[in-house]
């Protein structure tokens, strides 16, 4: 045994194992198999059981049931039965339960930490210091929301039964992120843990029994992807919340299209970690440790692309190699280990395949000089140099402890590289110059940005992605809204199928030329444009008389309009005050043509009160002008020495598809909130009454709306909507049309995972400000960016 003097000379770590005796006893008492937790009771483990393996030892530590469709049915039925009473409880009563969960997690902190480590392979240092304390924090925070929900979210109600599917990388933490807000808002839950890591969810269910949570409020169905699909697709599930791979996120999007289920997706990432030449390099090196070697790199927001300014890159990489050499990888229950095992041998082989591909593409793999244990799913940490932006290792989520690196010269180059990914989950920025850091924070497309920090999480800080990293937020006020609804947008009667024909041949019969005859063109990039296909279609008015022609836009016109919209990026950067001025000016110009619009609305033959619709349109311009500089983000106290800003950012280009009713008001009601928040719009006007669009673009032309900010198309609604839904450069889509069309656009949107707001073919009373305008529109027109800043001592 080495003497203290020897130890002081070598400074070698001795073994520091955490005891797992209690957890082993707990596991052994459940060795017959773990079943589901349905309606407050544990089912016995029947049928085919799934082995649960400790990836650090390769020992089977238990077996879990694989939930069948019948199990899912039973769990959903229990959640539905519990919903009425649970949602009717005063917030204060729900708060008491959430508080009890938080307290009991704290009391069992060590037990959960050890169990999580044995189930997942991550180190006890992380489960003990990060995962489990954050779980408790999450339940405390949401005990607060339960208390406040009625005051903080008036007119909102819980969504109903929530199906929640979570991954294996932070098993109990992901459970907390899902369950806590759902319960706080008054929902009930059916949750499926990943089959690789089911244990802490089961222990959590036991804790729920301990605290006396009413039966059926939380149900846990164990199982694999098939079980997950059965939950997501269940007809009595009102909301699906998923965290996992982008591929499965896409499957779920398609699976539940047209069902009206609320959906939040927290998916993959390839997040940039940007080191500017004026960064504190030593601090940034420590940042990398937390960015890519934390949790074995199995982190959706891992800093997996290190972008380093050229002048400091060699020095930075040298420092990184030196730091990497001190990393300790091994028994995750040893308190001195920096890294444990990855989640499974399968995941290890997946990581190795990706690393091999990187080397074959010419990148150099720098690995830490560590001796790995002979047994277990251990992976050597490292980073690539000589990697290029197009290399697979720079693009594909490795989900292991290896980062790609790239260098850049200018800030513009850094931004271009950072955004050169289909994802947009997080970014970590390192600079001692606050101006440069904040400029970068604004320009990087990511839902979470850490300045001189990385991988920081807090229950009050919304977390979630841009682009193919998904949509919806977890945590804070934005996270609560994912579990609440006003329901107004799906309450109307189902619209009759559109009878508006697309007649491209000359109209037969005598046209009603007493009405104003207009040939509507398209409006693209600030110019009136003839339709690419050279076709127009006949527009019918009162008593079915032909009253004019409108351009029949095709896919090429949609692409041209999107291209024009994507060039008009400056709009997102102008001040909210400027945008408000433009909207006021629009109202002014519209008002000058009041008689003409009222006559055109009357000529459609469907607008009962044209004056009223016109007046509402003017008011709507004023309302959004008023909101432009008032729909604000927030500053939240999260962790010590930090402050967290949530900023409402525009998506970019939003596609909007207007219904046939209220042809002026509905179209404006969709365009205005989108441009108020700084988006550009490609709008499809009413198919049946498109002539209003022609008058409207003439007003846009005179209202200081920059070219490309609003583009207007006319033609066959669902043909154009499908092209918009499929277009990768359209960032979000609002669709008003038929039930079939709603399903179609939701399926088609899965490509780039754009958020879709479809009305399921429901009529909306556009004249009523409760439905035709509101904060819901502004929320749908923006995505929350959460920026963490160093603040205070
Ligand atoms: P998955 O996306 O397959 O798993 C996430 C969860 O979804 C698990 O509970 C899984 O069940 C479940 N699931 C799988 N298929 C379906 C389905 N069709 N419908 C509903 N639920 C389903 O991730 P993997 O475990 O396969 O990991 C693959 C890769 O995904 C990783 O290497 C990583 O790149 C990425 N990933 C990203 C995560 C993130 O947080 N963003 C988390 C995990 C993985 P089960 O596991 O039991 O089969």
Q: What is the DSSP letter of 295?
A: G
Whether residue 746 is predicted with pLDDT greater than 80 in this model: the reply is: yes
Task: For residue 384, give the 3-state DSSP assignment.
Answer: strand
Whether residue 517 is predicted with pLDDT greater than 70 in this model: the reply is: no
The arithmetic mean of pLDDT across residues 228-243, rounded, is: 98
- For residue 355 and ligand 1, the question of a CB distance below 6 A is answered with no
Composition of the chain by helix, strand, coil, percent to 5: 45, 20, 40
At 351-385, the pLDDT tens digits run 999 999 999 999 999 999 999 999 999 999 999 99
pLDDT at 545: 87
Active site residue 266: yes
pLDDT at 15: 84
- The pairing of strands 642-650 and 782-790 is antiparallel
- For residue 169 and ligand 1, the question of a CB distance below 6 A is answered with yes
- For residue 248 and ligand 1, the question of a CB distance below 6 A is answered with yes
Local confidence band at 423 (pLDDT 50, 70, 90 cut-offs): very high
d(CA 751, CA 744): 13
Q: What is the dihedral of CA 78, 82, 83, 88, to 10 degrees?
A: 180
DSSP class per residue in 673-721: HHHHTT-EEEEEPPSS-THHHHHHHHHHHTTTPPTTTEEEE-S-HHHHH
Catalytic residue among 266, 277, 298, 613: 266
The arithmetic mean of pLDDT across residues 254-270, rounded, is: 97
Token pair recorded at residue 573: 């950067």
Closest ligand 1 atom to Cα of 223: 47
Answer left, alpha or beta for residue 642, where phi above 0 means left and psi between -120 and 50 means alpha: beta
Token pair recorded at residue 356: 């091999």
Token pair recorded at residue 706: 């920059």
User: Are the C-beta atoms of residues 765 and 631 closer than 8 Å to each other?
Assistant: no
CA distances from 433 to 27, 251, 444, 449, 612 (A): 52, 43, 17, 16, 54
d(CA 551, CA 773): 29
For 464-486, b where at least 16 C-beta lie within 10 A, e where not — what string?
bbbbbbbbbbbbbbbbbbbbbbb
pLDDT at 493: 93
Whether residue 230 is predicted with pLDDT greater than 60 in this model: the reply is: yes
- For ligand 1, atom 19, the nearest C-alpha belongs to 229
- For residue 229 and ligand 1, the question of a CB distance below 6 A is answered with yes
Token pair recorded at residue 142: 């949401």
At 177-189, the pLDDT tens digits run 999 999 999 999 9
Token pair recorded at residue 361: 């593409």
Whether residue 712 is predicted with pLDDT greater than 80 in this model: the reply is: yes
The arithmetic mean of pLDDT across residues 244-260, rounded, is: 97
Token pair recorded at residue 509: 């019969």
Give the CA diameter of the chain.
107
- For residue 165 and ligand 1, the question of a CB distance below 6 A is answered with yes
The arithmetic mean of pLDDT across residues 701-714, rounded, is: 96
pLDDT at 706: 97
Whether residue 99 is predicted with pLDDT greater than 60 in this model: the reply is: yes
Q: In a 10 Å sphere around its CB, with 0-12 CB exposed, 13-18 middle and 19+ buried, how is residue 666 labelled?
A: buried
d(CA 740, CA 724): 16
pLDDT at 499: 63
pLDDT at 429: 98
Q: For the sheet with 527-529, list strands across it.
A: 527-529, 522-524, 710-713, 680-684, 653-657, 732-735, 756-758
pLDDT at 500: 73
Q: Distance, CA 730 to ligand 1 centroid (Å)?
A: 26
Local confidence band at 274 (pLDDT 50, 70, 90 cut-offs): very high
At 330-352, the pLDDT tens digits run 999 999 999 999 999 999 999 99
pLDDT at 4: 77
Q: For the sheet with 402-408, list strands across it.
A: 364-367, 382-385, 402-408, 303-309, 271-275, 426-430, 448-451, 782-790, 642-650, 634-637
At 583-623, the pLDDT tens digits run 999 999 999 999 999 999 999 999 999 999 999 999 999 99
Question: Nearest-5° angle of CA 398, CA 306, CA 790?
Answer: 115
pTM: 0.96
pLDDT at 516: 54
pLDDT at 512: 55
The arithmetic mean of pLDDT across residues 394-408, rounded, is: 97
Query: Which among 604, 748, 766, 755 has a CA at the least distance from the CA of 690?
Result: 604
Ramachandran angles phi, psi of 783, nearest 5°:
-125, 140
pLDDT at 510: 54
| Mean pLDDT estimate for the chain | 95
The arithmetic mean of pLDDT across residues 777-787, rounded, is: 98
- For ligand 1, atom 46, the nearest C-alpha belongs to 194
d(CA 96, CA 79): 20
DSSP class per residue in 609-647: -HHHHHHHHHHHHHHHHHHTTTS--EEEE-STTEEEEEE
pLDDT at 489: 76
- For ligand 1, atom 26, the nearest C-alpha belongs to 245
d(CA 540, CA 498): 13
Best mutation site among 50, 171, 225, 229 for ligand 1, i.e. most ligand atoms within 8 A of its Cβ? 225
What is the distance in angstroms between the CA of the first residue and the CA of the last residue of the chain? Answer: 44
CA distances from 512 to 600, 605, 689 (A): 13, 12, 15
Point out the least confidently predicted range of 227-236, 278-287, 539-548: 539-548
The arithmetic mean of pLDDT across residues 516-532, rounded, is: 86
Whether residue 8 is predicted with pLDDT greater than 80 in this model: the reply is: no
pLDDT at 11: 74
CA distances from 741 to 464, 496, 500, 756 (A): 28, 13, 15, 12
User: Are the C-beta atoms of residues 195 and 167 closer than 8 Å to each other?
Assistant: no
The residues pairing with 274 across neighbouring beta strands, listed in sequence order, are 307, 429
Whether residue 202 is predicted with pLDDT greater than 90 in this model: the reply is: yes
The arithmetic mean of pLDDT across residues 49-75, rounded, is: 98
Whether residue 514 is predicted with pLDDT greater than 60 in this model: the reply is: no
Task: For residue 783, give the 3-state DSSP assignment.
Answer: strand
| Location of structure tokens 């939950």 | 231
**For the chain, what percent of residues have pLDDT higher than 90?**
92
The arithmetic mean of pLDDT across residues 386-398, rounded, is: 95
pLDDT at 260: 96
12, containing H or E segment: none
Q: Distance, CA 227 to ligand 1 centroid (Å)?
A: 12
Contacts of 747 (CB under 8 A, 6+ apart): 253, 254, 257, 258
pLDDT at 1: 66
User: Are the C-beta atoms of residues 268 and 245 closer than 8 Å to each other?
Assistant: yes
- For residue 397 and ligand 1, the question of a CB distance below 6 A is answered with yes
CA 648 to chain centre: 14
User: Are the C-beta atoms of residues 585 and 560 closer than 8 Å to each other?
Assistant: no
Local confidence band at 507 (pLDDT 50, 70, 90 cut-offs): low
The arithmetic mean of pLDDT across residues 388-397, rounded, is: 95
Whether residue 2 is predicted with pLDDT greater than 80 in this model: the reply is: no
- For ligand 1, atom 29, the nearest C-alpha belongs to 245
- For residue 399 and ligand 1, the question of a CB distance below 6 A is answered with yes
């Amino acid at each position: 045994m080495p003497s203290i003097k020897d130890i002081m000379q070598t400074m070698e770590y001795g073994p520091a194992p955490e005891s797992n005796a209690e957890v082993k006893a707990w596991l052994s008492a459940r060795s017959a198999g773990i079943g589901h937790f349905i309606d407050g009771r544990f089912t016995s483990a029947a049928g085919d059981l799934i082995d649960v393996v400790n990836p650090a030892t390769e020992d089977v530590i238990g077996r879990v049931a694989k939930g069948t469709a019948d199990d899912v049915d039973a769990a959903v039925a229990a959640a539905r039965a519990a919903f009425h009473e649970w949602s009717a409880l005063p917030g204060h009563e729900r708060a008491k339960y959430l508080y009890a969960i938080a307290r009991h997690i704290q009391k069992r902190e060590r037990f959960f930490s050890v169990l999580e480590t044995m189930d997942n392979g991550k180190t006890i240092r992380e489960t003990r210091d990060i995962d489990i304390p954050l779980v408790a924090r999450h339940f405390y925070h949401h005990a607060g929301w339960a208390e406040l929900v009625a005051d903080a979210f008036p007119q909102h109600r819980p969504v109903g039964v929530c199906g929640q599917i979570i991954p294996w990388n932070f098993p109990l933490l992901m459970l907390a992120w899902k369950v806590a807000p759902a319960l706080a808002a008054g929902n009930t839950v059916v949750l499926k843990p990943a089959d690789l890591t089911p244990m802490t969810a089961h222990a959590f269910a036991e804790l729920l029994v301990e605290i006396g949570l009413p039966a059926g409020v939380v149900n846990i169905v164990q199982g694999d992807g098939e079980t997950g699909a059965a939950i997501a697709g269940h007809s009595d599930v009102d909301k699906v919340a998923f965290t996992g791979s982008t591929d499965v996120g896409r499957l779920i999007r398609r699976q539940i299209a047209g069902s009206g289920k609320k959906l939040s997706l927290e998916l993959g990432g390839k997040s940039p970690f940007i080191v500017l030449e004026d960064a504190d390099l030593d601090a940034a090196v420590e940042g990398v440790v937390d960015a890519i070697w934390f949790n074995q790199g199995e982190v959706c927001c891992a800093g997996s692309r290190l972008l380093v300014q050229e002048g400091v890159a060699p020095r930075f990489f040298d420092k990184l190699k030196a730091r990497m050499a001190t990393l300790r990888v091994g028994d995750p229950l040893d308190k001195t280990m920096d890294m444990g095992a990855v989640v499974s041998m399968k995941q290890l082989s997946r990581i190795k395949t990706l690393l091999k591909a990187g080397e074959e593409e010419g990148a150099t793999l720098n690995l830490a000089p560590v001796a790995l244990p002979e047994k277990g799913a251990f992976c050597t940490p490292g980073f690539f140099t000589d990697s290029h932006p197009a290399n697979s290792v720079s693009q594909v989520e490795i989900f292991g402890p290896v980062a790609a690196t790239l260098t850049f010269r200018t800030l513009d180059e850094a931004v271009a590289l950072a955004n050169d990914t289909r994802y947009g989950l997080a970014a970590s920025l390192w600079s001692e110059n606050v101006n440069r850091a904040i400029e970068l924070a604004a320009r990087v497309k990511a839902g979470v940005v850490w300045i001189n920090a990385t991988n920081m999480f807090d229950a009050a800080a919304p977390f979630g992605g841009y682009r193919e990293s998904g949509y919806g937020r977890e945590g804070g006020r934005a996270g609560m809204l994912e579990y609440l609804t006003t329901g107004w947008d799906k309450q109307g009667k189902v619209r009759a199928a559109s009878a508006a024909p697309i007649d491209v041949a000359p109209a037969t019969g005598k046209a009603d030329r007493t009405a104003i005859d207009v040939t509507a063109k398209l409006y693209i990039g600030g110019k009136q444009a003839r339709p690419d296909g050279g076709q127009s279609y006949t527009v019918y008015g009162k008593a079915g008389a032909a009253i004019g022609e409108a351009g029949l836009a095709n896919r090429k016109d949609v692409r041209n309009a999107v291209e024009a919209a994507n060039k008009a990026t400056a709009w997102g950067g102008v001040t909210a005050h400027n945008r408000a001025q433009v909207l006021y000016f629009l109202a002014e110009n519209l008002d000058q043509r009041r008689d003409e619009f009222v006559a055109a609305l009357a000529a459609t033959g469907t607008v009962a009160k044209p004056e009223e619709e016109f007046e509402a349109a003017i008011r709507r311009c004023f309302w959004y002008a008023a909101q432009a500089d008032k729909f604000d983000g927030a500053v939240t106290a999260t962790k010590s020495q930090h402050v967290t800003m949530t900023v409402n950012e525009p998506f970019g280009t939003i596609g909007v598809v207007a219904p046939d009713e209220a042809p002026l008001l509905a179209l404006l009601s969709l365009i205005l909130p989108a441009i108020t928040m700084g988006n550009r719009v490609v709008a499809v006007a009413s198919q049946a009454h498109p002539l209003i669009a022609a008058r409207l673009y003439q007003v846009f032309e005179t209202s200081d709306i920059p070219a490309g900010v609003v583009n207007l198309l006319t033609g066959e609604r669902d043909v154009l909507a499908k092209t918009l839904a499929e277009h990768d450069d359209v960032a979000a889509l609002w669709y008003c049309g038929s039930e079939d069309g709603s399903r179609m656009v939701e399926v088609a949107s899965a490509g780039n995972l754009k958020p879709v707001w479809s009305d399921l073919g429901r009529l909306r009373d556009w004249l009523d400000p409760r439905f035709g305008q509101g904060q819901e529109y502004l929320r749908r027109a923006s995505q929350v960016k959460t920026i963490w800043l160093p603040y205070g001592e």
